[in-house]
Amino acid sequence: MRTVVIGGGLAGLSAAIQLAADGDEVLLVESRKSLGGCVRIRESREWVLDPGLHLLHRRGAFYQFLRKLRAPRVLGPKWRSDDFFTIGQTRDSGLSALTEMRPYSKLKPPREFVIPYGGWTGLVGRLVAAANQLGVVYEIESTVESINLQKGRVISVTVEGNTIECDYIVIAASPFDTVRLLENAGLNVSDLESCTPHMVAALDVAIEGKMMRPYSGLYEPISGIIAIDVSSEGRIPENRHSDECAIIHAVHLKKDGEEALEEIKNFLDSRCSGWRKLSTLRRSTASILLHPCELEQRVDGAQYIDNGIVLAGAHVISESVLSDAAIETGRAAAKLLKNHR
C-alpha cells in the first residue's frame, strides 16, 4: 500500500515508522526545512538549549517507543522529581502541572522523568534513523497543498503542484493545517474547528552556576510559571560539570507574549537571584504552541477512515499528553489503517 504521511513532527515520524514496519510504501512530506516539527533542534556553543521543557516520562509512550527502537543512549539520566518544589501547594500538584504542562492539571503525576542526553536532537535523530532503515522516503520543504478524493476515497495528494498517487493518508499536522486540507477536500471539519490553541512564552538559559539549588525545579501555581533545571551530561560543554552549571527551561503556563517573558524573568530574579549575571546564553520565545487544543476538544483519529484518511497528533484522543500523545496517536494511526484494510 502507498501511504502518504503529512507532517514530519513526532506524530508523523512515529506513524511513518509503524507503517513502514507493517510493510507499507511510505512517503513523508514535511513543509519545513528539517524534521522534528515543533521540537526543532536548537544547539548553541555546546549547550543543548532547545526551546521549552525537556522531560520524558519513563513509562510514557515516547520512552517506550525509543526503547523498542533500541535507543538507550539517547534516553539520559533520571531527573530529580523529589527535589521539585511547588510554592504554596503539594509537590504532586506541581508535578501534575509539569506532566501535563497545564496550570490546572488533575493527572496523577508519574514520579519518573528522564532528561534526554542530547535534548530533542538525539530523540528526533533516532526516529529519523529508524525511518531511514525501514525505507521511508521524504519530501522536505514541500507542502501538501491538497488531498484529492474520488467517490469519497483518497486517490492522491498535490505536493508543490505535483500529483502523487496514494491509497491512504495520515495527517499528522496541527488541527488548523488539518482543517484546511480536509475542508478543501469537501469533508466535514466541525470537530477540528473547535480546537483552541494554547500559546505560551518560554525562556531557556544556560547559567554558569547552580542558582536553583537545592531544587530541580520550581512551580508557582498563582502565576503559572514553571522552571526546571535540565542540565546533564551531553547537554553542557565537555569541560563543565552539571553540579556547577544549569540549563533552566522556564515556561509561563498561563500567558504568552513579551509581558509573560518579563514575568518569567522576574520570577527567576526572586527565586534564583544572580541568574542574569551568570547566564552565558539565553533564548526567549514569546509565543509558542504548547497544546493544539484543550483535553476535552480532542478529536477521533478514525473519523475519516472510510475516506482512507486517519489523523494523528496531540489533538487526537489518546491516553497520553504532549510528546507521548504525538507518538501514541502516530502509531495508533498506522494500526488503524492496518486493521481497516
Of 154, 253, 310, 322, the one binding ligand FAD (CB under 6 A) is 322
Beta-bridge partners for 338: none
Residue 1 C-beta: closest distance to ligand FAD, Å? 20
Residue 34 CB partners (closer than 8 Å, separation 6+)? 40, 41, 140
* Residue 172 found at the interface with ligand FAD (CB under 6 A): yes
Cell triple for 88: 504554596
* Residue 143 found at the interface with ligand FAD (CB under 6 A): yes
Bond prior to 51 in cis (omega within 30° of 0)? no
Stretch that binds ligand FAD, among 34-42, 63-71, 81-89, 189-197 (CB under 6 A): 34-42
Q: How far apart are CA 75 and CA 114, in angstroms?
A: 7
* Residue 30 found at the interface with ligand FAD (CB under 6 A): yes
Residue type, 333: A
Q: Which is nearer to ligand FAD, 75 or 326 (CB)?
A: 326
Stretch that binds ligand FAD, among 70-78, 89-97, 232-240, 322-330 (CB under 6 A): 322-330
* Residue 308 found at the interface with ligand FAD (CB under 6 A): no
- Residue 104: other Cβ atoms inside 10 A: 12
Of 5, 7, 126, 170, the one binding ligand FAD (CB under 6 A) is 7
Start-to-end Cα distance in the chain: 10
Of 71, 127, 314, 332, the one binding ligand FAD (CB under 6 A) is 314
Q: Which is nearer to ligand FAD, 145 or 209 (CB)?
A: 145
Cell triple for 2: 502507498
Lay out the site mask for ligand FAD across 82-121 (x = CB under 6 A, - = otherwise). ----------------------------------------
Host H or E run for residue 89: none
- C-alpha distances in angstroms, 154 versus 16, 38, 137? 18, 27, 20
- C-alpha distances in angstroms, 12 versus 38, 44, 312? 12, 27, 7
Residue pair 170/329 in contact by the 8 Å Cβ criterion:
no
Residue 30 C-beta: closest distance to ligand FAD, Å? 5
Site size for ligand FAD (CB under 6 A): 36
Instruction: Name the DSSP class of 53.
Output: -
Q: Which is nearer to ligand FAD, 54 or 271 (CB)?
A: 54
Compute the radius of gyration of the chain from its Cα atoms: 20
Q: Which of residues 57-76 bind ligand FAD (CB under 6 A)?
A: none
Stretch that binds ligand FAD, among 10-18, 205-213, 261-269, 297-305 (CB under 6 A): 10-18
Residue type, 21: A
DSSP, collapsed to helix, strand or coil, labels residue 220 as: strand
Residue 252 C-beta: closest distance to ligand FAD, Å? 10
- Residue 98: other Cβ atoms inside 10 A: 26
- Residue 255: other Cβ atoms inside 10 A: 17
* Residue 288 found at the interface with ligand FAD (CB under 6 A): yes
Q: How far apart are CA 86 and CA 226, in angstroms?
A: 9
Of 173, 206, 211, 272, the one binding ligand FAD (CB under 6 A) is 173
* Residue 19 found at the interface with ligand FAD (CB under 6 A): no
Of 3, 18, 121, 174, the one binding ligand FAD (CB under 6 A) is 174
Of 115, 131, 144, 299, the one binding ligand FAD (CB under 6 A) is 144
Which parts of this chain interact with ligand FAD (CB under 6 A)?
Answer: 6-12, 29-32, 37-39, 51-55, 143-144, 172-174, 177, 202, 251, 288-290, 313-314, 322-324, 326
